[in-house]
A and B are shown apart, each in its own frame.
Chain A
Amino acid sequence: MKYSLVSSFVVASLFTAHTAQAETLRLLTWGGYAPEEVIAKFEAETGHTVEVTTSNNEEMIAKLRATNGGGFDLAQPSQDRITSAQEEFGIYKPIDMSRVNADLFIPSMLSATAGNTTFDGDVYGLPHVWGTSGLVVNTAMAGDVQDYTDLCDASVAGKVSYRLKRPTLIGFAYSMGLDPFAAYGDADAYQGILDQVEAKLTECKPNVKTYWGGGDEIKNLLRSGEVVASMAWDTGGWQLNADNPDITFVAPEAGALGWIDTFVLPARGRADDAAYDWINFVMQPEIAAMITNTAGNFTAAVDGDAGVSADLKARYQGSFDQDAIDNIKWYPPVPAGLEALEGATLDRINAAN
Chain B
Amino acid sequence: MGSDRSRLGFYLLLAPILLWLVVLIILPHIGLFLVSISEKIGPREYETGFDNYAAFFTEPLYWRTFARTAIMSIMATALTLILGFPIAYYIAKLTRGRTKTTLFLMCMIPFWVSELVRTFGWMILLRETGVISNVLQYLGLVNGPVEMLYNDAAIMVGLVYTSILFMVVPLVTTLDSLDDSLIEAGYDLGGTSTSIMREIVIPHAMPGIVSGCIVVFMLSLGNYLTPILLGGKDSLWFTGMIYTQFITRFNWELGSAFGFLLLALSSLVVFLGLKFSGQSLSETMGRP
Contact = CB atoms under 8 A, between A and B. Distances in A.
Contacts of B65: 351
Given A210-B150, A351-B64, A351-B65, A339 B250 contact: yes
A87 B43 contact: yes
B113 to A, nearest CB: 19
B129 A226 contact: yes
Nearest to B245: A343
B233 A343 contact: no
Contacts of B247: 58-59, 62
B109 interface: no
B233 A205 contact: yes
B44 interface: yes
Given A210-B233, A211-B232, A347-B244, A88 B250 contact: yes
A224 B64 contact: no
Contacts of A59: 247
A53 interface: no
Contacts of B64: 351
Contacts of B233: 205, 208-211, 350
B31 to A, nearest CB: 11
Task: Give the contact-size bracket for chain B.
Answer: 20 to 34
B44 A226 contact: no
B199 interface: no
Question: Interface on chain A toward B: helix, strand, loop, or mixed SS?
Answer: helix
Contacts of B252: 65
Contacts, number: 62
A165 interface: yes
A336 B251 CA distance: 12
B248 A347 contact: no
A210 B44 contact: no
A211 B231 CA distance: 10
B251 A340 contact: yes
B204 interface: no
Contacts of A90: 44
Interface residues of A, number: 30
B248 A88 contact: no
Contact of A210 (B43, B232, B241, B246): B232
B147 interface: yes
Contacts of B250: 58, 61-62, 65, 85, 88-89, 339
Nearest to B232: A210
Interface string A164-181: 010000000000000000
Interface string B229-272: 00011001000010010111111100000000000000000000
A165 B248 contact: yes
Contacts of A185: none
Contacts of A209: 147, 150, 232-233
A48 B248 CA distance: 33
Interface string A58-80: 11011001000000000000000
A182 to B, nearest CB: 23
B129 A224 contact: yes
B43 A336 contact: yes
B61 A347 contact: yes
Interface string B274-288: 000000000000000
B127 interface: yes
A180 to B, nearest CB: 18
B128 interface: yes
A32 interface: no
Interface in B40-70: 43-44, 61, 64-65
8 contacts: A61-B250, A158-B147, A205-B233, A210-B233, A226-B147, A347-B241, A351-B61, A351-B65
Interface of B: 43-44, 61, 64-65, 127-129, 147, 149-150, 228, 232-233, 236, 241, 244, 246-252
Interface of A: 58-59, 61-62, 65, 85, 87-90, 158, 165, 205, 208-211, 213, 224-226, 336-337, 339-340, 343, 347-348, 350-351
